[in-house]
Amino acid sequence: MTASDPLRPVRHPIPLLVLGICGIVLTGALGFAVTHAPQWTAWETDALNAIATTHTPAGLALAGFIAWFFSPPVAAPLTFLIAVAVWALTRSFTRALVFAVTVGVCWGATESMKFLVQRPRPRLSAPVFETPASFSFPSGHTAFACAIVLALLLTLRDWRYEWVVIVLGSGLVVLVAWSRMYLGVHFPTDVTASVLLTVSVAGVVIPLILNVAMPAVRGRWGTGVERTGAEGAIHGK
């Protein structure tokens, strides 16, 4: 293992774990608070109705495409394809597996929070998109986009173009969050909470993977050959 290895242990895992757990608890508390605050929901509904007045055919087409592209039926194969791309880029199956696990756990936590909080979907005065049957808090689409970005940042930490992932990934998360509010299927607090929850869950998952799981894997099977190939590929050597 080298200093540039993205799967090296976290230097201070306990503070990261504590912050992650606190973030998860805070997200849940926020969810229960807004779900049982009719006046707050009314304010957010008014905001969504105001957004609805800005609808254009192009905007609805874009938001509808995003709704499909990041939907559960597409999310699983998309995660697999990106994991394969990580494997091809780094020549490391371990990195691809860590990517998939990170995305899966973060996204799964979001779905669990939905059933825990059970916030109803927005009810707009003139809905333009079919209201999903699932609960509203937090946004699964936004959380999935955020989970992909975080998992890529984790597995490609030693990539010289890491800034590309940061810039494009941040824009992607904002775009997906906008699309959910533009279609009127999520409140602003839903999309905000999805980012908070995903980052918090990643704060718990990453130390467990890097400080517990990875040392056990390396101790049993070793990664010398795989790592050498990955470093050469990702640094362009």
In angstroms, the CA 158 to CA 173 distance is 22
User: Could you tell me the CA-to-CA distances from 201 to 20, 25, 30, 39 in Å, in that order?
Assistant: 6, 10, 16, 30
pLDDT category at 134 given cuts 50, 70, 90 is confident
pLDDT tens by residue, 76-86: 999 999 999 98
pLDDT category at 232 given cuts 50, 70, 90 is very low
pLDDT mean over 155-163: 79
User: Could you tell me the CA-to-CA distances from 145 to 154, 158, 198 in Å, in that order?
Assistant: 14, 21, 10
Q: Read off the pTM.
A: 0.85
pLDDT category at 1 given cuts 50, 70, 90 is very low
Domain residue ranges of the chain, discontinuous segments joined by +: 13-234
Which pLDDT belongs to residue 203? 93
pLDDT tens by residue, 58-82: 999 999 999 999 988 999 999 999 9
163 φ/ψ angles, rounded to the nearest 5 degrees = -60, -30
Taking a C-beta distance cutoff of 8 angstroms, is the pair 200, 20 a contact?
Answer: yes
Lowest mean pLDDT among 37-41, 133-137, 203-207, 232-236: 232-236
HEC profile for the chain? CCCCCCCCCCCCHHHHHHHHHHHHHHHHHHHHHHHCCHHHHHHHHHHHHHHHCCCCHHHHHHHHHHHHHCCHHHHHHHHHHHHHHHHHHHCCHHHHHHHHHHHHHHHHHHHHHHHHHCCCCCCCCCCCCCCCCCCCCCCHHHHHHHHHHHHHHHHCCCCCCHHHHHHHHHHHHHHHHHHHHHCCCCCHHHHHHHHHHHHHHHHHHHHHHHHHHHHHHHHHCCCHHHHHHHHHHHCCC
In angstroms, the CA 107 to CA 120 distance is 20
The correct CATH number of 13-234 out of 3.40.50.280, 3.40.50.300, 1.10.606.20, 1.20.1280.50 is 1.10.606.20
Instruction: Calculate helix-pair angle for 224-234, 93-117, nearest 10 degrees.
Output: 90
Which pLDDT belongs to residue 221? 55
pLDDT category at 230 given cuts 50, 70, 90 is very low
Lowest mean pLDDT among 12-16, 124-128, 157-161, 162-166: 157-161
pLDDT tens by residue, 25-51: 999 999 999 999 999 999 999 999 999
Judged against a pLDDT cut of 60, whether residue 117 lies above it is answered with: yes
For residue 114, give both structure tokens: 């939905």
User: Could you tell me the CA-to-CA distances from 70 to 19, 110, 140, 173, 226 in Å, in that order?
Assistant: 28, 14, 9, 11, 32
Compute the mean pLDDT over every residue in the chain, rounded to the nearest whole number.
Answer: 87
